[in-house]
Structure formats: structure tokens, C-alpha cells
Amino acid sequence: MKVDWLIVGAGFTGSVLAERIASQLGQKVLLVDQRNHVGGNAYDYYDEQGVLVHQYGPHIFHANARYLWDYLAQFTQWRSYYHQVLGVVDGQQVPIPFNFNSLYALFPAHYAAKLEQQLLENYGFNLKVPILKLRESASGDLKFLADYIYEKVFLGYTLKQWELSPEDLGAAVTARVPIYLSRDNRYFQDTYQGLPLHGYTVLFQNMLKHPNIHILLNTRYQSIMQEVQYKRMLFTGPIDEFFEHMHGELPYRSLKFDLRYEEREQIQTVGTVNYPNEYNFTRITEFKHLTGQRHHGSTWVAEYPQAYVRGENDPYYPIPQEKYKALYKKYQQEAEKIQEKVLFAGRLGDYQYYNMDQTVARALAIFDKQVAV
């Protein structure tokens, strides 16, 4: 088979670039994925009971850039949706990120009001303060509050998710769950928030519905290298795997998903409930909140973080520590030597955590700056 591009990985990065190359340049693309579906970790499907579920955990698209929202709107109608997350703290379900409503749910009203006033005086309204920053700068009552939130909301969840303490992680991770000085219970505050009306899989199918795109599923790219002639490659898998771990293995965190169905209209009051201190799982998501589907029963998923073991599970999260960034740079230097032939992108190709909007933005930027030139 002769193609212009061989793209490895049919998630957002690979699919967006396949669509752009096929539709804008008129070039032929072979899109290969070792899984049995397109969509990468955003893949969704209807389970045996007819509930639309996200196989790899909840995916809510959110962005501030209109061009990203509009680009994907070519392939889907949007269902507007504001995600809400509650965390179980001292037996109470309170909004996450921790905000003023959380404060009043956990503390006596007069003490909550005192803490609220001190937070406003020291930091202002509608700001997000990273918990480690608050712990470092606070004193008196605010020091108590910072330590309380750190221990009750942040520490246990982080240890389960990463098997590392918050102090051992990069600042970008600890900033993801700040104290939000507001009464806004939404998990995201982006301008555009929602999910594809008919699901992510339909979005990907529409995106890849082009005569210049040929898709091979259940296929490891190594197995076809002798049969395919291509001019350039985009690789979205683990960059260390591409280079056969010549500098050593990059570590990742993985997840195990336990999906359950119950003959109940509703399991929980919001889309996701976090369990920072109890149980071995980190959170439970009930999909009907996200999708808006009406069904007499409901499917939910509990997520169990675990170490990534090559050949046994899937890599989901690069581990954000400086020593691993240094190891990645060695692979990045190898990639630069062959960049005229092979491009690397995506969470695993860039060894960097991306939200979906960041992934789409990165793919579109690669097309504009490195492909369509």
C-alpha cells in the first residue's frame, strides 16, 4: 500500500491530523490503531443495557478558544453541559474544587464566614489559589484551613492517583485542584463546555469519513511496516516505545475501570463524586449526567489508579517529575534527528498531560506549522 502519511493512533491527535491532511491537502492517509475502535481514550459506546458510557472514564470537552469548539462542530452537534464534582470530606459531599460553598458545608456558619472574609481580604474574589501556595503563605485561621483542605481533599487523592505526595509533583498538577474563592460549583469555568450530542465515537466517525483516509484497527503498526510505503509518519504512541527504550523506559500511571449497571434512575446527584480518603478508587462517575440520556437504569464507573506495566495495561498519564522530563528530553533529541520523516505528538508522544482542547490545538498547530508548509 502506498500512502502519503502513516498515522499511528486514532485518538484526537491522530484523527484531527488525518482529517486535515486528507481534506485540506488531498493526500492519502493510513490511520492505524492497535485498539478495536477509533477515538482513543474518548471512545464511547452503548453498553448491553443501552446506556451510553465512556469506556476510559469521563470526558467533558471544555475550551476558551472558539476556533477549537467550531472546528469540532463540523463533525458533531454539541450538548451544553456544566460538569460538577463533589468530594466526600468527613462524611459530607462538598463541591470540588473546594470553594465557599464547601466552606459553609463543613464548618459552623460563623467560623465559615470568618474564613471567607479572611480569604477575600488576603486574595480577593473569583481567584484560584493552589493549595501548596496557600499552605506556604497562610497563618492563623487560614493556615488551619489550608492544612485541613490539604489533608482532607488533596493529599489522599494525590497519593492514590500518583503514588506520590503533592510536593513531589510538578506545580501544574497541584494547581489543577486549587481553592476557588467563589460560589461557582462548576468544575470548569471555560467559555465553551459540553459533549458531542450523539457521542464521541460518532464525532470521530464523521471526522474520518473521507475517501483519502483508510483505517486499520486491531493492528500494531510494527506488523505492517514492511507492507506500507509512506512519505511521512505521525506517531502518537509512547515515544520511548518508538525508540525501543534505548534510553530506558518512561514511567506512566494507568487506570482500571470498574463499570456497573443498576436498575435505578439515578445513583448520585452530580456527574462525578471524588473519594479522596476512603476506598481504593478515586472517583465514581455516572454517565447519564454527562450525556443527558434518559434511561430507566444507570451505569457508573469507579476508577482505580495503578502503575503502568508494559504489556499488561495502558499508559494514561505521564508522571510530571523533573527526572522524567530529563529522560524525555533524550528521546526528544532523537526525534529531532528524524523530524523530516517522523513527527511525534499527543500525551504519549510529547510525554505531557493534555486536556482535549489542548490536544486538538496542538494537532491543528502541527498541521499549520509542520505539515501544510
Where are the chain's structural domains? 2-79+195-249+317-371, 85-180
Residue closest to 42 by CA, chosen among 367, 371, 347: 347
Could you confirm whether domain 2-79+195-249+317-371 is CATH 3.20.20.120? no
pLDDT at 373: 86
pLDDT at 198: 97
Q: At CA 187, angle to CA 181 and CA 192, rounded to 5?
A: 110
pLDDT at 174: 67
Question: Running along the chain, 373 residues long, what does each successive block of 10 average in pLDDT?
Answer: 97 98 98 98 98 98 98 98 98 97 98 97 95 89 95 94 87 76 98 98 98 98 95 98 97 97 97 97 98 97 96 94 95 97 97 96 98 92
Residue 313 CB neighbours (<10 A): 15
* Alpha carbon of residue 76 to chain centroid: 20
pLDDT at 177: 72
C-alpha cell at 336: 529531532
- Peptide bond before residue 211 is cis, with ω within 30 degrees of 0: no
pLDDT at 173: 73
How many angstroms separate the CA atoms of 197 and 292, rounded? Answer: 9
pLDDT at 168: 85
Instruction: Report whether 97 contacts 208 (CB < 8 A).
Output: no
Q: Which amino acid is at 130?
A: P
pLDDT at 176: 67
DSSP structural state of residue 213: E
pLDDT at 178: 87
DSSP structural state of residue 104: H
Residue closest to 330 by CA, chosen among 205, 196, 240, 203: 240
pLDDT at 3: 98
Under DSSP, is residue 42 helix (H, G, I), strand (E, B) or coil?
A: helix
